[in-house]
């Protein structure tokens, strides 16, 4: 599939949004941004998702993360639909901008096209794509969900917490990790280095191979 993926730099496109025109890198400002697309305004699952994004805005703000939505509807449609989204989400305000991409150029460049969903007149639609952009405008994580499956906000926050933890320490987060759980030490760090990097200590799982690669610590 064409377009960006993990490790790529997001192109510095100029975008038209509900908060005016800007260049993507200017918006990212060398920080963290969640850039997410939805198939269309005034559709049921999308209304629940954008309402949940509004409700979670404070969680994202605490982590220094900006939000940026995107669909192929125009600005007038976004602004009209936002009233429904806010009403449905119990009055949580949509304070994040939503990009309008009626020409379908941005969804192609950002790898957000749904291969199956089309408008009644055959135009392409975005999938429920989500890129977490880290400092330096780089894609750190991508989700690609079909129109039929709404995303899980807690999983987005959890993945973000994992990315930010890994960016700060030479660690990775194991299956079903949650904040305050133990993390694992990267295989690129040998035991001598690990003793210096993690003075709090680490435990090595005793596995049949005796290779000592599964090491847990608390950071």
Residue whose C-alpha is closest to residue 51's, from 97, 99, 91: 91
Q: Which is nearer to ligand BEZ, 28 or 49 (CB)?
A: 49
Q: State which residue, 43 or 79, has the beta carbon closest to ligand BEZ.
A: 43
Residue located via tokens 């993945």: 159
Q: Which is nearer to ligand BEZ, 59 or 117 (CB)?
A: 117
How many CB atoms neighbour CB 203 within 10 A? Answer: 11
What residues between 166 and 185 interact with ligand BEZ by CB under 6 A? Answer: none
Residue 72 annotated in active site = no
SS (H, E, C) 106-169: HHHHCCCEEEEEECCCCCEEECEEEEEEEHHHEEEEEEEECCCCCCCHHHHHHHHHHHHHHHHC
Q: Which of 216, 196, 197 is nearest to 206 (CA)?
A: 216
Within its chain, how far is the Cα of 73 from the centroid?
Answer: 21
Residue with Cβ nearer ligand BEZ (116 or 191): 116
Among 106, 147, 159, 185, binds ligand BEZ (CB under 6 A): 147
Q: Which stretch binds ligand BEZ (CB under 6 A): 35-43, 156-164, 175-183, 210-218?
A: 35-43
Tell me, residue by residue from 86 to 125, as one string, x for binding to ligand BEZ by CB under 6 A and - for no binding: -------------------------------x--------
Chain centroid to Cα 127, Å, comes to: 14
CA distances to 182, 190, 210 from 204, rounded to whole Å, are 12, 12, 10
Determine which one of 24, 34, 46, 157 is catalytic: 46
Q: Which helix (H) or strand (E) holds 153?
A: helix 153-168
Q: Is 45 in the site for ligand BEZ (CB under 6 A)?
A: yes
84 sits near ligand BEZ (criterion: CB under 6 A): no
Q: Of residues 16, 40, 141, 214, which one binds ligand BEZ by CB under 6 A?
A: 40
Report if residue 46 touches ligand BEZ, rule: CB under 6 A.
Answer: yes
Residues classed as catalytic: 46
- Interface residues with ligand BEZ (CB under 6 A) are 39-40, 43-46, 117, 147-148
């Amino acid at each position: 599939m064409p377009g960006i993926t993990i490790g790529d730099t997001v192109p510095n496109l100029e975008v038209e949004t509900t908060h005016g025109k800007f260049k993507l890198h200017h918006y990212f400002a060398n920080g963290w941004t969640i850039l997410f697309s939805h198939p269309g305004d005034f559709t049921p699952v999308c209304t629940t998702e954008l309402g949940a994004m509004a409700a979670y805005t404070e969680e994202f703000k605490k982590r220094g993360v900006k939000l940026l939505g995107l669909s192929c509807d125009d600005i007038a449609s976004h602004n009209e639909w936002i009233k429904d989204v806010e009403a449905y989400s119990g009055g949580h305000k949509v304070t994040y901008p939503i990009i309008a991409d009626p020409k379908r150029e941005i969804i192609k460049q950002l790898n957000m096209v749904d291969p199956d969903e089309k408008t009644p007149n055959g135009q392409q639609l975005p999938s429920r794509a989500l890129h977490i952009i880290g400092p330096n405008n780089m894609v750190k994580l991508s989700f690609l969900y079909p129109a039929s499956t709404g995303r899980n906000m807690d999983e987005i926050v959890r993945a973000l917490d994992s990315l930010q933890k890994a960016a700060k320490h030479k660690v990775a987060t194991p299956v079903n990790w949650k904040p305050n759980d133990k993390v694992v030490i990267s295989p690129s760090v040998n035991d001598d280095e690990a003793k210096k990097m993690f003075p709090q200590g680490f435990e090595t799982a005793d596995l049949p191979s005796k290779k000592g690669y599964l090491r847990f610590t608390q950071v």
